[in-house]
């Protein structure tokens, strides 16, 4: 299969409509999104297994042909990336999903309350709920988001106290390209999916965003301040997200 993907990728780069170029992967049209920025000094690429697209960032003066050549040169990496990407995890009865880094089994029964209850059973943690079975996934996601807010708020308050910063507004969403952000207007935005990650990973992301309240860049001064705020190993947290982040993004898709 991998050889077939390589062949397809090497021969199917095209831009038939004048819009985004596409590559044909096993019959699927994968768009190549090209973004030109003044900050870019070279061509960089990301194969997004969640959105099923390839994203290119390149200098403003670089021609589209250079981006397509770059994609062709990376065809083996692209093929492997999409071939080995995790499948979407359906939030349904019997499925396992992480909460605070611990696996939880979803237990649905028509006789249960519609409200999600977290219990520790003989075989580990479980999430119990009832109501219409076809709405299990929606209610699990809603529960995750509800549980995430006080946890995230507590982490932010702790790091802000340590940093001597006023507590910012907290926004919780579901971005696909980042785990958190800090705006100059005093808002920290976080992905609800961080509630599935281990504590040290979630706290690293939140400490990172609080550190941006003083340094709105990724300068050496920012990282020194980040390391002062965060009690753990930020590189280990980054590695965990790089390794497992796509799995979190596929939950409930």
3-state helix/strand/coil string of the chain: CHHHHHHHHHHCCECCCCCCCEEEECCEEEEEEEEEECCCCCCEEEEECCCCEEEEEEECCCCHHHHHHHHHHCHHHHHHHHHCCCCCECCCCCCEEEECCEEEEEEECCCCCCCCEEEEECCEEEEEECCCHHHHHHHHHHHHHHHHHHHHHHHHHHHHHHHCCCCCEEEEECCCCCCEEECCCCEEEEEHHHHHCCHHHHHHHHHHHHHCCCCCCCCHHHHHHHHHHCCCCHHHHHHHHHHHHHHHHHECC
pLDDT above 80 for 4 = no
pLDDT above 70 for 85 = no
Mean pLDDT of 13-17: 47
- Identify the pLDDT of residue 240: 93
Mean pLDDT of 75-90: 71
Token pair of 119 as six digits: 């219990």
pLDDT tens-digit readout, 97-113: 999 999 999 999 988 88
Which CATH code of 3.30.70.360, 3.40.50.1820, 3.30.2010.10, 3.30.2350.10 fits the domain covering 96-250?
A: 3.30.2010.10
Residue range(s) of every CATH 3.30.2010.10 domain in the chain: 96-250
pTM of the model: 0.71
Pick from 25-39, 143-157, 175-189: least confident: 25-39
pLDDT above 80 for 121 = no
Q: Are 215 and 231 in contact (CB under 8 A)?
A: no
- Identify the pLDDT of residue 130: 94
């Amino acid at each position: 299969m991998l050889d077939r993907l390589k062949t397809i990728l090497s021969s199917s780069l095209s831009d038939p409509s004048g819009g985004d170029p596409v590559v044909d992967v096993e019959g699927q049209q994968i768009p190549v999104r090209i973004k030109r920025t003044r900050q870019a000094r070279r061509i960089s690429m990301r194969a997004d297994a969640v959105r099923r697209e390839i994203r290119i960032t390149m200098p403003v003066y670089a021609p589209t042909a250079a981006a397509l050549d770059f994609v062709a040169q990376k065809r083996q990496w692209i093929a492997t990336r999409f071939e080995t990407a995790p499948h979407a995890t359906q939030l349904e009865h019997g499925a396992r999903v992480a909460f605070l880094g611990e696996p939880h089994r979803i237990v649905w029964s028509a006789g249960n309350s519609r409200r999600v209850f977290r219990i520790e059973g003989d075989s580990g943690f479980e999430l119990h709920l009832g109501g219409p079975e076809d709405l299990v996934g929606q209610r699990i996601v809603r529960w995750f988001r509800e549980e995430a807010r006080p946890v995230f708020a507590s982490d932010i308050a702790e790091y802000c106290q340590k940093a001597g910063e006023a507590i910012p507004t907290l926004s919780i969403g579901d971005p696909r390209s980042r785990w958190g952000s800090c705006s100059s207007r005093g808002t920290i935005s976080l992905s609800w999916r961080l509630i599935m990650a281990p504590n040290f990973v979630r706290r690293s992301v939140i400490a990172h965003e609080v550190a941006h309240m003083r340094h709105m860049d990724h300068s050496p001064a920012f990282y020194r301040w980040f390391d002062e705020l965060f009690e753990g190993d930020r590189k280990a947290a980054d590695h965990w997200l790089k390794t497992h982040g796509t799995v979190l993004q596929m939950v409930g898709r």
